Amino acid sequence: MAAADQAPPAPRAGLGLILLALVAAQVGLHGCLNGMRLAVPLLAAAEGRGAAVVGALMAMFAVLPFLIAIPAGRLTDRRGYHLPARLAAVLACAGALLAALSPTPWALGAAAALAGAGSAIGMIALQRTVGRLAGSGTERLRFFSWVALAPSVATFVAAVLAGTLIDQLGYRAAFAGLAVLPLLTLAASAAVPSLATQPVMPAVHATGPGKPGIAWDLLRSADLRRLFFINWLIAACWDAHAFALPLLGHERGLSASAIGAVLASYAVMSAAVRLIIPALAERLQTRALVAGALTLTAIVFLLYPLLHSAWAMAACAGALGLGLGAIQPAVMANLHAVAPADRQGEALGLRSTVIHFSTLVMPLCFGGLGAAVGVLPVFWLTGLALAAGAWQARQLHGTDQTSPGPR
């Protein structure tokens, strides 16, 4: 048995501080990633690199996460939180420092891959740990709503830090500044006590020890198949919105600032709903929440092409933020409820693989579709796919576990 398996569970009285430390640790990793995602394409564009080079550099952020997510999940199952978190911090810091020392296209590509890997490993470790801290399904939903704020906070921190340093001191200084953020991860993770890898709550369908080695056999569970499909839909929805909204806004004659305001309304409402869910968690059923949120997002995508004003698009983007912001914590709570107890990290790794594969492939598909028939079918096809996801969400069984499991 691994050393992490022998550690005592975290004290219930200190859960608030533990969650805060976990969020701070992920802010360091995600902030470094988002700052790199801002600075790398800006530097490439400033040097006159073509769109193909910029696209390849952006794809590098997803390459390593796609390849290593499942091994990272297995590592987290075996060793608990701390070793993966430290490895993630080292990778992210190394990526930012590499970009600061040698901002050439090849070095920037390697730096992007390292930063992406660090953020992905850290997120898997965070999600597995948070799922095991919960004492009930309600608490699980509440916890995942809190930690889902980490990407929003990190995005704000990264944008301010990277943008200011680029304008005032240049790109090398910006990359060096971003390399400091993973040090926050190392400091914050030290405040997380050693946690038992045996869950506080048992998985709903866990009937005994799993057989790690072939991650895809997790798909034998119908509920896990549905959850992975829903996760893919969420990722594809993000990609479709990021790809199609600027093009639609341009077709409608909106200014860049107006399009930016539409995107900002999405971010604000996404963060807002994640602040509201913890207060309502005891009244919510995760299956109904996922199905309702997917239905809302499907309606939004079907309506988008009919709109012409910035205000109407901002309202739709806000509704989309509400839907997608609510889905993520609920899906994570469901995933921990149905995954085998000793393979939750592996299940999270498989989920991450699906998401990063979507990030690699879907923008190319949307680009080809948009070039062939225009941007409007991208919205409509995404809306129909989301409607199918809402139907799948209603088929989930046994995922609204609200009573505490055995200690």
pLDDT at 202: 46
Highest mean pLDDT among 17-26, 105-114, 222-231 belongs to: 105-114
Averaged confidence pLDDT in the chain: 75
Cα separation, 243 vs 239, in Å, equals 6
User: CA-to-CA distance for 137 and 281, rounded, in angstroms?
Assistant: 9
**pTM of the predicted model as reported, rounded to 2 decimal places:** 0.68
What is the DSSP track for 134-189? -SSHHHHHHHHHHHTHHHHHHHHHHHHHHHHHHHHH-HHHHHHHHHHHHHHHHHHH
**pLDDT over 60 at 402, yes or no:** no
* Max mean pLDDT range (45-54, 178-187, 276-285, 327-336): 178-187
**286 vs 288: CA distance, rounded Å:** 5
DSSP assignment letter at 190: T
d(CA 380, CA 386): 10
Confidence check: pLDDT of 262 > 70: yes
Q: Residue 1 and residue 22: Cα distance in Å, rounded?
A: 25
Give yes or no for residue 96 having a pLDDT over 90.
yes
Higher-confidence position of 3 and 20: 20
CA 92 to chain centre: 16
Q: How many beta carbons lie within 10 A of that of residue 138, not counting itself?
A: 23
Q: What is the pLDDT of residue 367?
A: 62
**Cβ atoms of residues 15 and 136 within 8 Å:** no
Query: CA 223, 69, 110 angle in degrees (round to 5)?
Result: 150
Residue 131, pLDDT score: 74
pLDDT at position 197 is: 36
In 3D space, the residue among 177, 172, 145 whose CA is nearest the CA of residue 159 turns out to be 177
- Stretch 381-392: mean pLDDT: 80
Whole-number percent of the chain with pLDDT over 90: 11
Phi-psi label, residue 154: left if phi above 0, alpha if psi -120 to 50, beta otherwise: alpha
For position 18, what pLDDT does the model report? 84
pLDDT at 243: 62
Q: Which of 202, 7, 189 is nearest to 81 (CA)?
A: 189
pLDDT-derived band of residue 1, with 50, 70 and 90 as boundaries? Answer: very low
Q: 106-110, 115-119, 136-140, 353-357: which range is least confident on average?
A: 136-140
pLDDT at 297 over 80: yes
> For 210, what's the count of Cα atoms within 13 Å in the CB-facing half-sphere?
26
Nearest to 300 by CA among 314, 317, 325: 317
| pLDDT, tens digit, 9 for 90 and up, residues 115-173 | 999 988 988 888 888 877 766 667 777 777 777 778 777 777 777 788 888 888 888 99
